[in-house]
Structure 1
Amino acid sequence: MASTIYVTLLNEMVDTSAGLCGTYDNDPSNDLTMKNGEITTIVSQFGNSWEAVTVGETCTGLGTDNPCDTYPDRLNSAELMCTMLSAEEFEDCHSTIEYTPYYDSCIYDICAWGDTSDNIMAVLCENLQAYSRECASENIILDWRDGVCPKECPGLMVYKECGSMCKLTCATSNMDLSQHCSPECVSGCECPTGFVEENGECILVEECPCVYNKENYRSGDVIQIKCNNCTCNTGQWSCSNDVCEATCSVIGDPHYITFDQKYYTFQGDCDYVLAEDYVDGKFSIVTSNAECGSGMSLTCTRSAIVTVSRTVVTLNPNLEVLVNGRVVELPFENADLAIVQASSMFVVIHSYSLRVEWDGIFRLYVTVQPSFMHKLRGLCGTYDFNQNNDYMTPEGDIETSKIEFANKFKTSSECADLVETPTITLPCSVNLFMSSFAIEKCSIIYQDIFKPCHGFVAAELYYDLCLYDVCGCDSDKSADCLCGAISAYARQCANAGAAIYWREDSLVNEYCAVQCEGNSVYTECSQGCGMTCSQLAFPCVQDDFCVAGCICPEGQAISDNGECVPYASCYCTFEDQSYSPGHVLERPCMTW
C-alpha cells in the first residue's frame, strides 16, 4: 500500500540536502541528481542510485516499466477516479497549485496498488490528501472529503483538514504554542474548542490533572511539598509560599550540602565552625575533622560540639554524649535543649528552632527554622536561599574558592590550612582496587529499588558521593562508607515521602543489613519518640523528619535490659531509683 511522508526543511538548509527529495536549491532542473552527482532524466535510475542497503539486505532495484503498462486493465478506473482532482471541490486551489503532477501520481499509484476496490480508494484518498495539504500550505482550505474519503474520529474529536502541528493537551494547555510550533498545518483528528487531549480522550481544560513525581492528581486535590500546601487547579499546581526550614548535611569524607543546597567537598584536618548564629548568638556548632581515608589525606567528621546558650553538648563516636564535659544518659533535658536517642542509629538534639542529628560515625544533619534566616554563617552557608553567597567568610567577604572559604572557619591557628591543588584527584582514579567494588555497589542508587524516589531526589549527586567515599575509605571501614553514603540518599528519599527499604537488597545486604536486638524492628522513617522506657515520661519533640534505625513496635519501649516491652511493663525512675510497675512510693504529704 502507498503511504505519505512529509519532510520540511528550514531556510538554513538551502544547498545542503540531497536524496529522493531533491536538492533544495530553488532550481527544479537538478532535482534528479543521483548519488554520484550526475543528473539523469530517468526516474528509476535516479531512485536506484539512492539505495541505502543495510547488512543482510538485498535490493533488486526499480525497473523502468510503468505499472499502467504492466496492469493495463487498471488504467481506465485510475483515470476515472483521479479526475476527482479537477472537480469543483478542488477548483479554489487550481490557480495556485497545479494539480496535473498529483493527477499523474494518482494514476501511477492506482495502477501499481489498485488490485482491490479498497486499495484503489486508499490510494486515491492518499493522493487527494496530498494535494489538499499542499493547498493548505498556501492557506487554501478545501472541503472535499464528504462522500469520497470520510474520516471518523474517536470520542469527541473532530477531523480538521488544517489543524495545528502541536496538539493541545493538558501538558500544553498553559503554553504559548506559537513559540514552539511551526505555523504549517496538518490534517487529522483533534479536540474541539474548549477541550484538550489527555490519554487519547478529549476533556475540558478544567478537568486536567496535575502531575507530581509521575503521579496524576485531580483538580482540587491538595498535596504537601516541603512546608507548603499545593492545590491542583486546571492542570497547574497553585502552592502557598511559606518559607520552609532548611537542613545542612555533612556526609562521609566529608561532603557538605549547605542550607541553600550548595554541594562541595572539603578535606580539612582541624576543628571548623559548621554553623553559628552570628547575629543573636543563640547557637554554634563546631565539627572536628580528622584523617580517615586510605592514605589519600581524606578526612571525616569525627565529633561535634553544639553550644546553645550556656549548655555545651559534645557528640562523640558510638553515640556517646557529653553535656558540659560530663557523660550523660539519654534522654536529657535542661532549660536550653533536649537530647534523645531517636533510634538505634541516631541521637537528636532539639532546641528552640534548631535540630541536630548525629549517627555516631560521620553523618551530621543540622536543621534550622526560618527565624534563623540571614543570621547564619559557617561551612553550612548562609541560609537565605541564595547559593551565590554561601562561601561568606567571618569577615563578610564572599570567597570563590571553597578551600579559602573553609580555611577561614578553623577554630585553631595550630592547624595548617588545607592547600588548594590545581587538579582534583578522585579516589576511584587512584584506588583501583576498590573502584570496581564501588561502581557495582553504589549502583543500587540507580536500581529499581530506589525508582520510587528518583522523581523526588536526584540520584547522580549521591551516586558520585558514594563512589568517592567507598574508594577513599580505609579498607576495614568500607561497609561504613558504603552504607553511610547510600543511607544519605535513603534519608532524603524518606523525608520526601518515599521510604525505601534497601538494606536487604542482594546487592548490598552483606554489608548493610541491620540486625535489630530485643524484638525491635528496623524502619527508614521513625519519629524518634518513646524509644526507651525512660523516654516515655519525657516530652519528646515529634516532627516531620524521618529517622532511620531500630525501634520498638508501636506501644512498646526498650526496657533497662534492652528488650522491647509494653509501656505498662516499663519501670519508673525517681531520684535515680527504679520502681516496678504498680509500685506505690510513699513520701511525706504525698503518694506516688
Structure 2
Amino acid sequence: TSRSSGAGMLLTSKWLVHIFNVCKTFGSGVFQTFNGTLFHVKSTCPFTLTRFTFAGVDCSITVQREPTGLMNRVVILVNKVTTILQNGVVSVEGNRITLPFDHTYQHVYQYGIYIMLKSKVLPFSVTWLSSSGGISSISVSWQPPLQTVKLDLVLSFQSKVRYDTFLHVTVDCEVMSYAKECRLSKFDTYMQLCLQNMFPKVNINAKCAFIKEIVYLCGNKTHLWSLWRKITLCQEPSCPGDLTYQELGPAFPPTCSNPQPNSDALINTCLPPAGMVVNDRADDFRSVRVTDCPCVHGGKTYAPGQSIISKCQSCVCKEGKWGCSPNACPPRCIIEGQVVTTFDGKQYSLPGKCTYVAAKGLSWTVTIKFSHTDMSIEEMNLDVCHRSTLICVWTGFLTEHATVFWQSSMFVQVRTSFGMKMQVQVSPEIQLYLYMPPTERTKGLCGTYNNNTEDDFTTSSGIIENSARPFASSWTVGVCSLDDLPICMNTNNEIFAEDKCAQLTNTSGVFASCHDYVPVNTIAKACVQRICQCTSGLQKCLCVALGNYAKACASQGIDVGDWRAASSCSKYISLRTIGLTLLNRTTA
C-alpha cells in the first residue's frame, strides 16, 4: 500500500517470511522484498529496510543512499546493539572494529569479498559489499529453524520520491538483450528496473551491482556469464596481496590457522593459488605452503621449527600449529579480584560486589564474598558435606576433611580429603587459586572443568549463557544487586591506571622476559580495570595487579626478578590476620 500527502510518502507492505527468504537492495535503488516483489526507489533520504520483533528481540535496518546511487550509511540495530556502516568503516556501539569481530550478540566477519553480520540471538544474517564510494548491495537472510515471522518493510521519506523514466534503452541496459536466453520469469520487470537504475551520474559500482544480479539469476551455464564483464565497464574486484578473484569459490579461503575451512556456499571470493594457504599470521595477505606457516604465542610470531619451553611443557612450531608435550602443570581456577579464569582457561569479569559460588562438587562448595567498598574478596568459605555432617571452613584450622597451613608469609594452603587443593593469597588482598583432581567435575564461577570452554558459562539451572553477566548472577548467594560498575571511579584513577599499568607491556621493563610465555595484554587490561574500581589506595591496587602477572610468570617457571622494588611495591609484603571459625551442623 502507499500513502502520499504533500512533501512525504510512506510505502508499507507486510508478508509472511518462509525459510531461506531474502530481502535485499542493490544498484542505485532496486529493492527485492522477502516475497520477491521488485521495485526501484531513487532517494537520498534515510529509510527503514526492515523492522521486526521476534522472540522479544527488536531489530531494524536503515539505509541511506548518496546521489550516485551507492549507500553511504547503514544502521543495523539488533537487541539494542547498534552497528553502523559508513565511509568504509564498521563500528559497533560507537567503536571502530576490525574483522573478525566477536560480540555477545553478533559476529562480524569477512565472507568472500563481502562482510557478514550474523546474529547470535536471532536466526538471521546481514551481508553487504563495500565498493569504492559506498555500499553497492546489502541483503538480509533468514535461516532455519525459523518457520514464519511477520515483518514490516517501511520506506519513510522526508521529501517527495521521484522515479526517473527513460524513453529508450540506454547503452548500459543493452546487456539485458543477452539475458533473454535465460527466460527470466520477470524479464520485463528487470528491463524496467534497469532503465530506472541507470540514471545519469550513477556510480559505476551501482550499475555493476544491478547487472551482476541479472547475471547471477541467469546462472553460470549461460553465454552471459562469461561475457558480461567484457561487454560492460564492470571490472573484477581487486584482491589483497597475491590472492586472485574468482566469480564462484568458497567463502573462506584456506589459511595457516585453518587450512581446510568448511565453506559450503560458493560466492565471489579471493583465493590463494592451488596448494597454497593465506598466511593470516601476517598483514600482507601473502600465500605460503602449509609447511611454511608460522605459529603465534603471546603476540609473537615463530618460524617453523622454532620452540618455546616453559616450566609446564615444551612446544615446537610445525605447519602453523604448536606440537606440545603433555602439560605437567595441573589446570587451576584463578579468582583475582573481579577477574576470573576458569579451569578450562576462559577469562571474564564479575558484574558486581556479591557473594558467589566459586566452585561446587557433589559434596562440597566454595563461596566467596566481596567487599562492599571495592572489588576485593572479603571472605572465602569451604563447605564440606560428609556423612550427614556439614562442616563450614573459614581459612585457618584443621579438621579430618581439610588441612590448612601457611605456605609462606602471604599464602595459606588448604588440602582436602577429596583431592581439591586451594592456595589462598591473604596479603595484600585475598585471592583464590583452586586445583582439582582430574576426575572431579565442577560447577560455579570456575566453570565445568572438562577441557571445553564453550560450556564454562553454565548457570546454576543448567543453561549455557553467551555472556558473563547472566551466568555469574545465577551463582550469587542471597540478595545481590548487580548494578553496572562505572568504567572508572574518577579521572585520577583513570590517569594513574593508564600510566602505571603500562609497566606490564613495556618491552624493556622488568616484566618483558615473561611476555613470550604468559600473554600480557589481558592482564594489562585487568590492571587498568582494577585500579579504575579501586577505593583502598591506588598504589596498593597497582601492586596487586602487577603481582598477579608475576605469579602467572612464576607458574611457568619464569622469574621476573625484583619487580616489587622496581614498582615501589615492597611495603605491601605483610601478614594478614586470618579468622578461624568451625561450624558443625548435622543435616537432616
| TM-score, structure 1 as length reference | 0.42
Higher share of residues assigned helix = 1
Larger proportion of strand: 2
Instruction: Name the structure, 1 or 2, with higher relative contact order (CA <8 Å, separation 6+).
Output: 2
TM-score, structure 2 length as denominator?
Answer: 0.43
Q: For the pair shown, which has the larger CA radius of gyration, 1 or 2?
A: 1
